[in-house]
Chain A
Amino acid sequence: MKKKWSFLTIIFTIVIMLTGCEPLLVLDPKGPQAERQASDIMLSIGIMSVIVLVVFVILIIMLVKYRASKQREDYEPPHIEGNIWVEVICVGIPVLIVAYLSFVSVQSNNIVESAPKGYEDKEPLIVYASTSNWKWHFSYPEENIETVNYLYIPTDRALEFKLYSYGPITSFWIPQLGGQKYAMADMLTTLHLAADAPGEYMGRNASFSGKGFAENTFNVTAIPQAEFDEWVEEVKESAEPLTEEKFVELLKPSIVGQSTFTGTHLEFLPPPKKHNKHTNRASNSEHSEHNKY
């Protein structure tokens, strides 16, 4: 067993050294949703480490104590059926742990699935984020602008992403702001996020979607509201309008850089409804207004 332990120690040292320099993205949250998730992760790592430790300790004790080489030649192990109290402990303690984690899990579910707390003073910024192979389209209906493969967001304001896809299932993920959610062709999903600190964040599609998947990323820039408003103004002045032809061209499979437009594609290609029963997106023009659910 010695070999094994020294080995494990080496691995963990390496890993701790590696991670010591820079915190892992998910554990370096910059928004309330990501913070909740990171604290859930740390909590579960803590509890699970105790369980792992208990198993390791029992295993080592058993192996050290009951090796054949340490026992009399004529030792005959007894027949033991099992003990009801031991079983009760083996079931009871895990049940308590799972119950506690379930409690935390249910609570966290409600938190990450609703608008982030503490930003009630401002209306959330709604952004429609859609994917086509292999790019991200971000439509800002209020500001009436659209970007490709990059995202500007204001800090200290709730964000509400409406996700859908013009193709394979993709997953919208900005690790430092919060967990991911799928973007799908015939259902609109909602992801609530918020950024507390200005900065540049990595965002990507996390769900495999074919050849260009690895490159299917976007940059997120979080800036204070005033700067965000400035940026919007600048876009409105300098960017070209998004026409239907231009957008259809963009939808074709390709890997493109960043671009900016005035107007959004929501006007001519409306997103799917939340639970789209009769999905024929092109013919559902009556649903073109941006529904708030």
Chain B
Amino acid sequence: MLTDNQSVTSKGIDPYLIIIYVALVIVGWLTIYSSSYDPQAEFTLFNLDQNYGRQLIWIIISAVFAISILIVDGKFFYNNAYIIYIIFMLLILSVLFLGTDINGAKAWIKIGAFSIQPIEFAKFATALALARFFNEGKTDNQRRHIFLLAFVFILVPAGIAILQKDTGSALVFFAFIIMFYREGFNSWLMLMGILIVVTFVFTLMWNELYTIAFLLVVLCISCFFVKGNKKKLFRNVGIFAGFVALVFAVNVAYTNVLQPHQRQRIDTIFGKSIDPKGADFNLNQSKIAIGSGGFAGKGYLNGTQTKLNFVPEQSTDFIFCGIGEEWGFIGSIAIFALFLTLIIRIIQLAERHKSTFVRVYGYGVASVLFFHLVINIGMTIGLIPVIGIPLPFISYGGSSLWGFTLLLFIFIRINAE
């Protein structure tokens, strides 16, 4: 329940969030312009043949969305959270039947000359539904029950995304677990879940020895927390042994159970196979782009890797390459600083708010933004496997820009109540 029944007002709208949002959108547009920059071409701002021209239109539409949301009564979102969720779930479900294939994923709906990716809107819808759900369930003995049900809200869109062969988007929904943690999700389960995922990834990406070494380090760190309690120490060692067994199990499954073509696919995903024309080439070119930016960058419009198309998907998933190449290390940390300021500001505002609905929604926004930030940039610099998800507010594309604009501005709106 919203505690205060204040009337709709511009008071309480956080200006910093809006400033950072505008800054990121501008950086995005400039980078999109640079990546398709051709000194010989005539420059017209609304050139619909060019990404930058189209993105400008998406930005204007986003502004319309943002202003509309700020005008709407904040209660609207609370009252209609489930309806919105159901509408968007049905929409992404319909994509499975009505959608068009783009890059192997059936995640797009064609409307005239343009395509829309409805899964981008499912993020704010899920965040809204979860916020309302947590706002309602309050008693402590319901806790376990609540989290099980909450997972259903995540699994529905994630499952549909997997059916659309859009693994990246499916993973995004699991970012809400960060918010679950804040809402009291069992930290042991949380830790074990993270460790299992990390163990899987490390085993397939590196090798078993490195992974076991990593687990050993985790075990040593855990020893500081048991404070001489022998029982707990034995428990931790037991868990460690379990994880080592997992490492070998994954390894055995990988070498003996999987077919060669399946192995090949995993290797490519984890950047292990040398596939100079495929994924490996893309990642390598991405690293060259960012690495060649150096400390201060090559200067705006001077990036060769992006301008000359060496980097794939340079306006969408790999847009960070353009920033890294032209603005260098300085520009890269500036982007991190902007995002982290945005995310931490959202968390602070969410914590400060009396309403559980706003807090949970705020954490949901922060979780999704952080997940996108880390996965997207981590992918371009080779820290994690290539998972195609956009960099919020910056990547080219109407659906993703609108989805994130709605996600953020709904928070700004309800936070102002």
B is bound to A? no
B interface residue numbers (CB < 8 A to A): none
Interface residues of A (CB under 8 A from B): none
